[in-house]
Amino acid sequence: MYRFEYAQASSIQDATAQAGEDVAYLGGGQSLLGAMRLRLAAPEKLVDIGRIADLRGIKNSGDTLNIGAMTTHAAVAADETVRSQIPALADLARGIGDRQVRNVGTIGGSIANNDPAADYPAGVLGLGATIVTDQRRIRADDFFTGMYETALKPGELILQLSFPVPESAAYIKFKQEASRYALVGVFVARFDDGVRVAVTGAGPAVFRCEPLEQALSGDFSADAARKVTVSPDDLSSDIHAAADYRAHLIPVLASRAVAKAA
Amino acid sequence: MDLSLSINGDSVTVDVPPNTTLAQLIRDELHMTGTHVGCDTTQCGACTVLLDGEAVKACNLLALQCADRDVTTIEGLKGENGGMHPVQEAFKDLHGLQCGFCTPGMVMSIVDLCNRVPDANEQQIREQLDGNYCRCTGYQNIVRAVQQAQQNLRT
Amino acid sequence: MNDALPKVVGTAVKRKEDERFLTGRGQYTDDITLPHQTYASFLRSPHAHARIVSIDAAEAKSAPGVVAVYTGEDVAADSVNGVPCGWQITDVDGEPMKEPPHPILAQGKVRYVGDAVAMVIAETQEQARDAAETIMVDYEELPAVTSVRKALEQGAPVVHDDNDLQDNKCYTWSLGDKDAVDQAFSGAAHVVSLDLENNRLIPNAIEPRAANAQYNAPDDSYTLYVANQNPHVERLLMSAFVLGLPEHKVRVVSPDVGGGFGSKIYLYPEDVCVTWAARKCGRAVKWTGERSESFMSDAHGRDHYTHCEMALDDNGKFLAMRVHTTANLGAYLSTFSTCIPTILYATLLAGQYATPAIYCEVDAVFTNTAPVDAYRGAGRPEANYVIERLATEAAWKIGVGQDEIRRRNFISEFPYQTPVALQYDIGDYGQCLDKANKLAEVDGFEQRKKESASKGLLRGIGYSSYIEACGLAPSNVAGALGARAGLYEVGEVRVNPTGSVTVFTGSHSHGQGHETTFAQVVAERLGMDVDNVDVVHGDTGRVPFGMGTYGSRSISVGGAAIARAMDKIVDKATKIAAHLLEASEADVEFANGQFTIKGTDKSVSFGDVSLAAYVPHNYPLDKLEPGLNETAFYDPTNFTYPAGTYICEVEIDPDTGTVDVDRFTAVDDFGTIINPMIVEGQVHGGLAQGIGQALIERTVYDEESGQLLTGSYMDYAIPRADNLPSFKLDTVCTPCTHNPLGTKGCGEAGAIGAPSAVMNAVLDALRERGVTQLDMPATPERVWRALQTA
């Protein structure tokens, strides 16, 4: 790691007050510190927001589930409220990284990083969550803007995520064997007004799969998902999988997600 | 920067640059070399220690993130009688280690696993070891060691 | 009278080394910090092939904390040689192989991504790395070639400029009777042929390579701590061939080593660099590889392309095999690289079968990739893959079972002279196969296949009956084949005055448990508790000499040396005992730690004898020297031949192409087993690596740029716990006929036999869908694609 300044923020206000050019918020740091160790990232200052109590915790308020940005993957996976309200989200969290990483990595950190193969973006977009920051509320549909890019402005801090509770939902991840990130991951969520399907790992950033949403909104069945054809255009090709294989996997995994959700 | 934390029950105060990882603090500053570093992508798990009782990868945490918290390394792991912990005993009994390099991290990870999922079956144990690489054992005896440790920790 | 002591050999004695490792008190190279320690960082080539136009290190030299910066020019100015190759292959034309220099820091050109260009030494690791980043190297990029097939094409980029290397070929080598093979093929009822890729692997010991060197000015000597599998060879090569130092002034210590699998056999440029630099800058210099450096610069394994054919008669009897292999050596010759695709490969092509005629030709090729050398199995997995894929294809072709085709062709009389140079001393291949069939519950396979089919899954079964040549090696044979060193092993047994024993062995343990296994061998023979025996290894300053650990040789050669040293101990101790008992030596027998006059109850204990040896007041000083300390050099008379049958069952999801290893059964004949617990562990580990090769591990270089695309754990998969099933193991025992312990070696078997068993199972599952060709690793995408195009 190159050298940098470090400050521990005692409150949300304290954190945002220290924001500035080349300043990064440090959550769990499981992605950021990894990149810094490889000298691929070099912020001049880290503001550690991991100790801010207001950013942690899980609350159920009516038909939404609110999760603080600094809630760890392990906490989400183990939380009884999440497991009863949106078990698919607990499931997703249980499959992120590995056990040690889940003990430290946070939901806010994950979606702010927006790794093209990360799991949480699929859950956040698939459930149509709202990202609450110190400045505004951002719909998931507007949040993930590109590879490692989000709608967050410099210095903007994610406070919590609000998830609408679906009728049913499931996430199926097909792992890239080395990294254990998603080679393709499909999150399917059924609401009374339709079905949302979000795909991670397959493109430059998480995206909604309209052909699947249409098919499943009409017929929420594994067969219906399986019959959908996804175009490989715009999907990723790399040493781990070509675009056509990823395109093939999307409806296969979607059908399994539907079966699991049902 | 000044940093105070507890390592294996001892209060420690040190002055470290912010870019010091917890693994560097333990190995280079505190000269406890049981915590190993085997990769640079936070995957192999050889550096696993307990932070407030939970398994974490010491290579991918800043030492400063651990201020005022409790860190337990392999050197601080003990059984009730002051000898080896049941997980360590099980590793020895069932040949759960060969070269020993991944072993401290593996053991610390499994202590956490046993606390968290005390009744994990074989498939769950294998899945829960996803953060620790071993290139020697093929994992079979590690899995058996976890099973024995679970049993011994229950009784 | 003494009761017989419980047997120690053959029992699962808990490992003596474990408590040290389990409590974090192992001492690996990076754990050692020397007085006046400095840290080295290597600047490595970002290009696969480039001319170095200039290097500007001025900024680095004045950077904070920097002690020294060295480049290829400094190395050349000091007349430091390149690292040597330890095995000279003779070409089909009778000419020696081509041996381009392998400088420790690049001279004029870089030839693979990761080739070391400069070394920066600083007060801290961070300062060394920071400074290395400031070095400006002006490269003139050159076209690169990474695949062996392309390297042999006309007009391919040339890796080494030498006139005789314009074709990139190190040698063409052959073994066997070509005419006899051609003749057998012309009259054969059936011929099966395959094109096989043996995928390139990166060994990935979890401890990265490391070296820490110190120069001791008062006596002009050096100490090198290094993560290495054979410290004496490291010292010999480095002092005699590279640095020109007197051997007695160099001590190489290989402390606890975190796995090797072959990758730590060799003398690496970094080891030489830190040793050379320690004197030059007068400070201890430590380098610890980062994982990304391991990926780039550890010697890789395998990387063969092979066309192979088998001729059979009407009854499925093998008549002949014809094999052509192109092997990738990488950019430079690593220590044993040249013997891997030749001596350790083609000589194994008979397998367990009485095939009368075999011919193999090998082209060994330079490319712009990391050097390729021995990795667990080293040549033998590649040979087994050829034979066992062919055997299974033959079974399918003539419509008999995979087990039946093997049984029909098994060698059943020993000793057996193969047509490819080796003479097998003993084995019982049929018994291994029968046991494996039973243990694998092969009878239930068809039922399990139906159950899988009902879930939409494909199930397949695959066999592999492997053989390996271990216990490397008879020195005269190895020498005739091009080895530039002997391959004996050394054991010293030091009986201390109070009767405890310290054993010094030239073998090196980096996970194999020698501290326990070797102690068992000694305890059994001398009738004492295992705790009274300590084993010392890995230090040229303490161990007389040694050739190290690789090729599953430790127990069969290193253990045999200890056994021979114990013969001398017992021999001398018997003389002393006879003196103490006032009996004739011929009347004294030794058992259970007691020397007894035959037919009487007059005896003296081993401890009393050892005390007498060191306190020789009542001692035959006119006939015997005092003391009880013996050394033996053991040179084997033949290789050992571990063999067995592995059966793998896979279940494949045709929708995703995912292959799940559902069952894996291994029945091995390792001869006499000293510690069954440790042997099982060795098999488990080998199987994991073999299954890894078959299903998930692969090394990808970009064919255009020569960049290593699988240069971290994010892109190179090694098996995790959830990739593997629990294995079912059993053994058969036909003791080796020519070493004193009857042992054969067990370290590599799993990695040798597993890949073909897995791939035969995968192809068995897929063939009902018309798939006939699939290379390792059988990744989901590859399997899915094969199903689409079948």
Residue C2 has pLDDT above 50, yes or no: no
Paired tokens of A35 = 């990149």
Give the ipTM.
Answer: 0.98
The structure tokens listed for C659 are 């292959």
Cα A246 to Cα A243: distance, rounded to the nearest angstrom: 5
Residue B24, chain A, CB below 8 Å: the answer is no
Q: What is the pLDDT of residue C252?
A: 98
Q: How confident is the model at residue B131 (pLDDT cuts 50, 70, 90)?
A: very high
**Does C316 have pLDDT greater than 70?**
yes
Q: How far apart are CA C358 and CA C176, in angstroms?
A: 6
Cα C464 → chain centroid: 20
Least confident of A200-204, B77-81, B94-98, C40-44: B77-81
Question: For residue range C599-613, what is the model confidence (pLDDT) as tens digits?
Answer: 999 999 999 999 999
Put the strands of the sheet holding C728-732 in their side by side order. Answer: C458-467, C643-653, C658-669, C728-732
| Gap from B61 CA to chain C (nearest CA, Å) | 17
Residues of A in contact with B132 (CB under 8 A): 98
Residues C515 and C533 sit within 8 Å (Cβ to Cβ): no
**Residue in B with minimal Cα distance to C205:** B135
How many whole angstroms separate alpha carbon B45 and alpha carbon A101? 10
Contact state of B1 with A6 under an 8 Å Cβ cutoff: yes
Residues C479-516 pLDDT 10s: 999 999 999 999 999 999 999 999 999 999 999 999 99
Whole-angstrom distance, CA of residue C197 vs CA of residue C183: 27
User: Mean of the pLDDT values across residues C206-219?
Assistant: 98
Is-contact C224 C251, C-beta < 8 A? yes
Q: How does pLDDT run across A95-118, given as a tens digit for each residue?
A: 999 999 999 999 999 999 999 999
pLDDT in tens, C273-292: 999 999 999 999 999 999 99
CA distance C131 to C57: 9
Q: What is the mean pLDDT of chain C?
A: 97
Task: Select the residue of A6, A26, A98 nearest B131 (Cβ to Cβ).
Answer: A98
For residue C416, the cross-strand partners are C424
SS (H, E, C) chain A: CCCCEEEECCCHHHHHHCCCCCEEEECCCCCHHHHHHCCCCCCCEEEECCCCHHHCCEEEECCEEEEECCCEHHHHHHCHHHHHHCHHHHHHHHCCCCHHHHCCCEHHHHHHHCCCCCCHHHHHHHCCCEEEECCCEEEHHHHEEECCEECCCCCCCEEEEEEECCCEEEEEEEECCCCCCEEEEEEEEEECCEEEEEEECCCCCCEECHHHHHHHHHCCCHHHHHCCCCCCCCCCCECCECHHHHHHHHHHHHHHHHHHHC
Give the closest-approach CA distance of B4 to chain C in angstroms. 23
Using pLDDT thresholds of 50, 70 and 90, give the confidence band for residue C617: very high
Q: Is C259 on the interface with B (CB under 8 A)?
A: yes
Tens-digit pLDDT profile for residues C47-74 = 999 999 999 999 999 999 999 999 999 9
C1, pLDDT greater than 50: no
pLDDT tens for C624-647 read 999 999 999 999 999 999 999 999
pLDDT at residue A240 above 50? yes
C544-581 burial: b if 16+ Cβ within 10 Å, else e? ebbbbbbbbbbbbbbbbbbbbbbeebbebbbbbbbbbb
Whether residue C6 has a cis bond before it, omega within 30° of 0: no
| C260 has a pLDDT exceeding 70 | yes
Taking alpha carbons only, the member of A193, A156, A201 closest to residue A176 is A201
Q: What is the nearest CA distance from C351 to chain A, expressed in angstroms?
A: 33
Supply the pTM of this predicted model.
0.98
Inter-chain contact A103–B19, Cβ cutoff 8 Å?
no
Residues 12-41 of B with CB under 8 A from C: 19, 27, 31-41
Nearest by CB to residue B38, choosing from C27, C207, C726, is C207
The Cα–Cα gap between C4 and C593 comes to 9
Chain C, residues 621-680, CB within 8 A of chain A, namely 655-656
**Mean pLDDT score, C215-225:** 97
For residue C771, how far is the Cα from the chain centroid?
Answer: 34
Per-residue confidence (pLDDT) for residue C690, from 0 to 100? 98
Query: What is the per-residue burial (b if ≥16 Cβ within 10 Å, else e) of C357-370?
Result: bbbbbbbbbbbbbb
Cβ(C230)–Cβ(C265) below 8 Å: yes
Q: Which chains touch B (3 or more CB pairs under 8 A)?
A: A, C
**Min Cα–Cα distance to chain A from C565, Å:** 48
Q: Where residue C4 falls among pLDDT bands split at 50, 70, 90?
A: low
Q: Taking residues C426-455, report their average pLDDT.
A: 98
Q: Using CA atoms, how far apart are residues C251 and C234, in angstroms rounded to an integer?
A: 10
Average model confidence (pLDDT) for chain A? Answer: 97
Q: Write out chain B residues lying below 8 Å of C646, CB-based.
A: none
How many percent of chain A have pLDDT more than 90?
A: 99
The pLDDT tens digits for A122-177 are 999 999 999 999 999 999 999 999 999 999 999 999 999 999 999 999 999 999 99
CB-CB under 8 Å, C677 with B95: yes
What pLDDT does residue C755 have?
A: 98
Q: What is the mean pLDDT of residues C559-564?
A: 98
In the structure encoding, which two tokens stand for residue A163, read together? Answer: 């998830």
Residue C64: its chain B contacts at CB < 8 A? none
Cα C401 to Cα C389: distance, rounded to the nearest angstrom: 14
pLDDT at A184 (0 to 100): 98
